[in-house]
Amino acid sequence: EDKVVQSPLSLVVHEGDTVTLNCSYEVTNFRSLLWYKQEKKAPTFLFMLTSSGIEKKSGRLSSILDKKELSSILNITATQTGDSAIYLCAVGQYDGGATNKLIFGTGTLLAVQP
């Protein structure tokens, strides 16, 4: 059975801390790995990773994929209260047709305290 597992499930840090969120997967026909940030409503796109070892960076956020270990990490440096959210990892699965399903992990709830 295809699955995506995130850890930790929840995390509380103080402003200025650096956090690392983990995502591991067992998915057939892997195509891509995506990170989303979900606050009160729908998820907003952060990164899409397809190649192993190439870091993607956006401001204080960065992410990298390790296809050998079937995992990815999302790093957030100098955390701010606005980073508080659920961070979702999703794996895109090629199904041989025109669609590409995303299989979501359980999410990591990050709370950044002032």
Partner 1 sequence: GAVVSQHPSRVICKSGTSVKIECRSLDFQATTMFWYRQFPKQSLMLMATSNEGSKATYEQGVEKDKFLINHASLTLSTLTVTSAHPEDSSFYICSARRPQGAGTDTQYFGPGTRLTVL
Judged by CB under 8 A, the residue of 27, 36, 76, 112 near partner 1 is 36
Residues 6+ apart with CB under 8 A from 92: 30, 31, 32, 33, 34, 48, 100, 101, 102
In the complex, the smallest distance separating the C-beta of residue 56 from partner 1, rounded to whole angstroms, is: 13
In the complex, the smallest distance separating the C-beta of residue 46 from partner 1, rounded to whole angstroms, is: 10
CB 9 within 8 A of CB 108: yes
Choice between 58 and 114, CB closer to partner 1 = 58
Interface with partner 1: number of residues (CB under 8 A): 25
Give the closest residue to 72 by CA, choosing from 18, 25, 38.
25
Interface residue list for partner 1 (CB under 8 A): 31-32, 34, 36, 41-45, 48, 50, 88, 90, 92, 98-107, 109
